[in-house]
Amino acid sequence: MSDTIEGMAAHRGAPPRDWDQVSQSVADVYFPHELTPIGPGSRPRLTLQTLDLGPVLLGYVGWGADIAIDCDYPGAYEVNIPLTGHFVSQTRRGSLTSVSGQAAVFRADSACRITHWDATCTVLGVKFDRTWLDLEAERVLGSDPVRVAGVLPDQLDLDRGGGEDWRRLVNSLASHLRRPSLFAGSPVVSEQLAGAVAAGFLLTSCPDLGTGSPARPRTVSRVVDAVRDDPARPWTVADMAVLGGTTVRRLQEGFQEWIGCSPMEHLTTVRLQRAKADLESRTSHSVSDVAANWGFSSPSRFAAAFRRRYGLSPSEFRRYHRHGGSH
């Protein structure tokens, strides 16, 4: 499997012959990384096939030699499912070995090292755009605005229950890697398939995200509850730390661990969701009024943050919904 399939169309070419070329080929479709061959004289035998569904990328990756790899996973989550062989990664809780029937989960924008990816290991990798998956978590799980990174496990069991069902789904899609014509030129199909892959992953990996579990530390919970009750308040991170009964540094660490973002990022997310609901309700308030009502002191910054999260400016979003979801 030396072909690379991008944009749901196959492209055949000469396989890369040295480690720099191999590393760049994978970085072009997955993530920038630092690749280190293990052992003298090792030569690459790259396996790389991908299927691009927009916010979700599926693909086979194998190196054909023992390697180590360092990556920060910028802007996206990654799930690696070994089909053959094994790899060993360093997690927050120590060394973790993943084999067939398991999946290793790598958090967006978080440095991680795979200390040994063995020569026989080929993975089915699933890459999720971070912002898009966070929005899908709100839609699928009905949760408060939250970054899923705070509750994702380091590893999934794919041999039973929902994990097994999700593995069958992604394996079924991966079977089209050699012949992607079914999806070519069909963004509607791609969008639906991406949504199905994300929903299955979220329900398997963090089923309690929208139900209040797992329990968060009291310092974090107090701040989350207060922000939810009064997001328009002119909060500072110092105010939040006082409310939580802790220091700013410890509060920030707690939010990164349990929510997956900083306290102020969480506040912005809550405000954006409330503003979005107002714009959907056909309120007579202007966009500037909606922004001010939910604590945004600058309409331009509100508009920029809204576009980053929802893909449209507030005015465009309002027009879209006033016309029944049609442009």
Q: Which long-range contacts (CB under 8 A, 24 or more apart) does 255-260 make?
A: 255/220, 255/223, 256/150, 257/150, 258/150, 258/151, 258/216, 258/217, 258/220, 259/146, 259/147, 259/150, 259/216, 259/220, 259/224, 260/107, 260/146, 260/147, 260/148, 260/149, 260/150, 260/151
Residue 90: per-residue pLDDT: 93
| Residue 15, pLDDT score | 54
Q: Is residue 61 within 8 Å of residue 122, measured between CB atoms?
A: yes
Helix (H, G, I), strand (E, B) or coil at 83: strand
- DSSP state, residue 143: P
Helix axes 248-258, 218-229, angle to 10 degrees: 90
The neighbour count for residue 132, using CB atoms within 10 Å, is: 19
Q: What per-residue confidence (pLDDT) applies to 187?
A: 76
What pLDDT does residue 95 have? 93
CA distances from 29 to 48, 59, 105 (A): 9, 9, 18
Are 94 and 117 within 8 A, CB to CB? no
Please name the residues in contact with 8: beta carbons below 8 A apart, sequence gap of 6 or more: 51, 52, 53, 180, 183, 184, 185, 190
Q: Using the structure block, give the residue that is written with the tokens 């026989």.
A: 120
Separation of alpha carbons 171 and 176, rounded Å: 9
Q: Is 99 helix (H, G, I), strand (E, B) or coil?
A: coil
CATH H-level, domain 218-322: superfamily: Homeodomain-like (1.10.10.60)
* Domain ranges, ordered by start, for the chain: 4-205, 218-322
What pLDDT score was predicted for residue 8?
34
Phi, psi (degrees; rounded to nearest 5) at 24: -65, -35
What is the per-residue pLDDT for 93? 79
CA distances from 155 to 66, 80, 88 (A): 22, 9, 12
CA dihedral 211, 217, 219, 221 (to 10 degrees): 0
Q: How far apart are CA 168 and CA 172, in angstroms?
A: 6
Amino acid 259: pLDDT: 82
CATH number of 4-205: 2.60.120.280
Q: Quick one: pLDDT at residue 17?
A: 67
Which residue type, as a one-letter code, is found at position 113? R
pTM for the model:
0.66
pLDDT, block means (10 residues), the chain with 327 residues: 34 60 93 91 88 91 95 93 96 90 93 95 95 83 66 91 93 78 68 90 80 67 92 93 90 85 91 90 85 93 90 86 57
